[in-house]
């Protein structure tokens, strides 16, 4: 007994010292691409009600920062992508940015992370890639000039900075960026004891390859599925650990085995387009609850390659954002609807045991690929003057795309923009899907399995 106590005590002390510096608290990404979102003060109340201990914003919005004053929430702010080229070339511009966007709020707002750009190395504007690390260095120097020491500088990367992530021990950065960009970035992150910020979604990996990846393994729900990496003999029990360790091994390959990982975004959509597999409330709740539990469990779990390491993480996202472009899932990552109601119960502190989430989740119906006919219609709340432009565009493409909606033809009536554009969208997609055309029209369109045809008017369809 006596012998056992001493090392245990020392161990506990070490753990408390290291976790004082960086804690395994979970946060939420506060994106604002919606025209129906609550005000910043109301949003901060909602963030607290989710028990989020961190928040990440995609700019340095003064109203949001003011609303975060004198709260306990750790804040991550961002230099917008478009400022990176200029900041990379000018220390005084960098100083000005920090002076205008950090100094007025620090330390009353607990700004702890300053991210330079968002997923820059995924951005097709490759010119900016080479400005990224110089901009990070300048921003760090500006913070130093202003004697701000508690703010770590980093940049969030999408997973496609890796050219290989499987098996995890084969994790390798893309060859176009590894030498010229990632290596100097890792040197900077290592020197400043910052983090490699990664946007890590098991959802996208699984949805791209649902035949070969088990859904429960992606949801951190599998009880009896393991994968042993032949390169290391490390055994994995979920896809999230595999992804993080792929990043660990990629950094190690470049000579930086000890840079900490910060999950800048993770999450699972609660809805999406008819042809988007597995986007439902059940999976979203299951994934987010399991990730929170894994990352907040004490003693800290870490990953197979880094047992016991703390992994700070920020869930994407606070709200469903109705103006986010791209497929339907992009607008359904929120923990909250825009009216502030929870999509499902979730406690980001991890203090609620999984068994205490009482409300039954809706049974998922789209965990298998949808098979059947689909039509492309004007979506809810679409901007009708933009729809009119999209209608003209669709009608100018393909063969006889809009013949049926000409005066006197079978689909002319009802003579409304909604019905004419919906016909044109369906007709366009039916012709162009085989060569990569999509049902999107900049987010104005939505896919439906419900046949909109009426009377003699038959809407063209796509068969999935």
Ligand X SMILES: *[C@@H]1O[C@H](CO)[C@@H](O)[C@H](O)[C@H]1NC(C)=O
The residues of the shown chain that bind ligand X, judged by CB under 6 A, are: 82-83, 86, 163-164, 166, 170, 172, 190, 223-224, 232-233, 255-256, 337, 339, 341, 383, 385-386, 389, 398-399, 431-432
Tell me how crowded residue 362 is: count the other CB atoms within 10 A of its CB.
12
Residue with tokens 């260095």: 137
119 assigned to active site? yes
256: tokens are: 């930086």
Residue closer to ligand X by CB (options 232, 367) is 232
CB of 390 to ligand X, least distance (A): 9
Residue closer to ligand X by CB (options 106, 197) is 197
CA 148 to chain centre: 28
Strands 373-378 and 445-448: antiparallel
Q: Is 252 helix (H, G, I), strand (E, B) or coil?
A: helix
CA distance 156 to 135: 14
CA distance 320 to 342: 11
CB of 186 to ligand X, least distance (A): 8
Residue with tokens 């290592």: 190
Residue closer to ligand X by CB (options 74, 431) is 431
What residues does 302 pair with on adjacent strands?
307
Residue closer to ligand X by CB (options 71, 438) is 438
Residue closer to ligand X by CB (options 170, 352) is 170
CB of 202 to ligand X, least distance (A): 18
* Cβ–Cβ < 8 Å for 138, 94: yes
CB of 253 to ligand X, least distance (A): 9
Residue 376, φ and ψ in degrees, nearest 5 = -115, 115
Residue closer to ligand X by CB (options 10, 386) is 386
Q: Is 352 helix (H, G, I), strand (E, B) or coil?
A: coil
CB of 367 to ligand X, least distance (A): 14
CB of 431 to ligand X, least distance (A): 4
Q: In what order do the strands lie in the sheet with 373-378?
A: 445-448, 373-378, 462-463
CB of 383 to ligand X, least distance (A): 4
Catalytic residue among 45, 82, 119, 330: 119
Residue 235, φ and ψ in degrees, nearest 5 = -105, 130
CA distance 345 to 289: 9
CA distance 121 to 160: 8
> Smallest Cα–Cα separation from 208: which of 169, 156, 165?
165
Catalytic residue among 21, 265, 356, 368: 265
CB of 119 to ligand X, least distance (A): 18
* C-beta nearest to ligand X: residue: 164
Distance between the two ends of the chain, CA-based, in angstroms?
66
Residue closer to ligand X by CB (options 184, 210) is 184
DSSP H or E segment with residue 268: none
| Dihedral class, residue 364 (left if φ above 0, else alpha if ψ from -120 to 50, else beta) | beta
DSSP H or E segment with residue 196: strand 195-199
CA distance 102 to 318: 23
Residue closer to ligand X by CB (options 71, 367) is 367
Known catalytic residues are 119, 265
């Amino acid at each position: 007994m006596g012998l056992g106590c001493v090392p245990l005590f020392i161990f506990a002390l070490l753990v408390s010292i290291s976790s004082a510096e960086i804690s395994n608290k979970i946060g939420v990404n506060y994106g604002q691409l919606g025209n129906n979102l609550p005000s910043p003060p109301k949003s901060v109340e909602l963030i607290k009600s989710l028990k989020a201990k961190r928040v990440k914003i995609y700019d340095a919005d003064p109203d949001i920062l003011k609303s975060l004053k004198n709260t306990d929430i750790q804040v991550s702010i961002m230099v917008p992508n478009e400022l990176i080229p200029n900041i990379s070339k000018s220390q005084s511009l960098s100083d000005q940015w920090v002076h205008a966007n950090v100094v007025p709020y620090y330390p009353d707002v607990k700004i702890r992370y300053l991210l330079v750009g968002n997923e820059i190395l995924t951005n097709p504007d490759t010119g900016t890639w080479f400005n990224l690390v110089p901009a990070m260095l300048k921003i760090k120097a500006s913070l130093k000039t202003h004697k701000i020491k508690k703010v770590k500088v980093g940049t969030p990367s999408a997973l496609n900075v890796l050219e290989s992530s499987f098996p995890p021990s084969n994790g390798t950065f893309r060859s176009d960026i590894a030498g010229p960009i990632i290596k100097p970035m890792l040197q900077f992150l290592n020197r400043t004891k910052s983090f490699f910020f990664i946007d890590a979604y098991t959802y996208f990996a699984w949805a791209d390859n649902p035949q070969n990846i088990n859904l429960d393994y992606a949801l951190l729900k599998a009880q009896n599925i393991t994968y042993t990496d032949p390169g290391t003999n490390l055994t994995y029990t979920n896809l999230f650990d595999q992804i993080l360790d792929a990043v660990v091994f990629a950094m190690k390959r470049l000579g930086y085995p000890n840079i900490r990982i910060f999950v800048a975004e993770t999450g699972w959509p609660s809805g999406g387009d008819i042809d988007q597999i597995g986007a439902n409330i059940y999976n979203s709740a299951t994934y987010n609850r399991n990730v929170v539990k894994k990352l907040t469990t004490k003693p800290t779990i870490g990953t197979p390659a880094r047992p016991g390491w703390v992994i700070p993480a920020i869930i994407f996202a606070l709200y469903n954002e109705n103006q986010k472009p791209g497929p339907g899932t992009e607008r359904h990552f929120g923990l909250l609807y825009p009216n502030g109601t929870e999509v499902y119960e979730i406690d980001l502190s991890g203090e609620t045991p999984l068994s205490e989430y009482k409300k039954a989740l809706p049974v998922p119906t789209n965990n298998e690929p949808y098979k059947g006919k689909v039509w492309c219609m004007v979506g809810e709340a679409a901007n009708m003057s933009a729809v009119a432009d999209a209608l003209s565009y669709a009608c100018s493409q393909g063969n006889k795309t809009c013949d049926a909606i000409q005066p006197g033809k079978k689909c002319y009536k009802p003579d409304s923009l909604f019905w004419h554009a919906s016909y044109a969208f369906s007709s366009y997609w039916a012709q162009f899907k085989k060569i990569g055309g999509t049902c999107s029209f900049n987010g104005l369109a939505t896919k439906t399995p419900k046949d909109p045809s009426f009377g003699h008017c038959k809407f063209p369809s796509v068969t999935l």
